Amino acid sequence: MADTAAEILAALGPLEGRAILDVGCGQGRLSAALARRGARMTAVDPDGAAVFAARQAGPDLRVEQSGAEALPFADASFDGVVMLNSLHHVPSESLAAALSEIARVAAPDAPIVIVEPLAEGTFFEAMRPLEDETAIRAAAQAALDHACADGEPLILASIEEFERVEPFRDVEQFIERLVAVDPARRSALPAARGEVERLFATLSEPTALGATLRQPLRMHRLRRR
The pLDDT tens digits for 99-115 are: 999 999 999 999 999 99
If residue 162 lies in a helix (H) or strand (E), which one and from where to where?
Answer: strand 154-168
Q: 44 by DSSP, 3-state: which?
A: strand
From CA 25, how far away is CA 17, in angstroms rounded? 20
Average pLDDT over residues 69-76: 98
* Angle of the 171-181 helix axis to the 189-203 helix axis, nearest 10: 130
From CA 144, how far away is CA 88, in angstroms rounded? 11
Residue 222: its pLDDT value, please? 98
Residue 59: its pLDDT value, please? 81
Which residue intervals of 13-88 are DSSP H helices? Answer: 29-36, 48-57
DSSP 70: S
Contact between 20 and 107 (Cβ < 8 Å): no
What pLDDT, in 10s, does the model give residues 148-180?
999 999 999 999 999 999 999 999 999 999 998
If residue 193 lies in a helix (H) or strand (E), which one and from where to where?
Answer: helix 189-203
Q: Which pTM value belongs to this model?
A: 0.94
Task: Count Cβ atoms within 10 A of the Cβ of residue 219 and give its class: 0-12 exposed, 13-18 middle, 19 or more buried.
Answer: buried
72 pLDDT tier (thresholds 50, 70, 90): very high
Average pLDDT over residues 76-102: 97
From CA 113, how far away is CA 219, in angstroms rounded? 7
* Angle of the 134-147 helix axis to the 95-105 helix axis, nearest 10: 50
Residue 1 pLDDT > 70, yes or no? no
What pLDDT, in 10s, does the model give residues 34-63?
999 999 999 999 999 999 999 999 888 999
Q: 143 by DSSP, 3-state: which?
A: helix
C-alpha 133, offset from chain centre: 14
Contact between 194 and 126 (Cβ < 8 Å): no
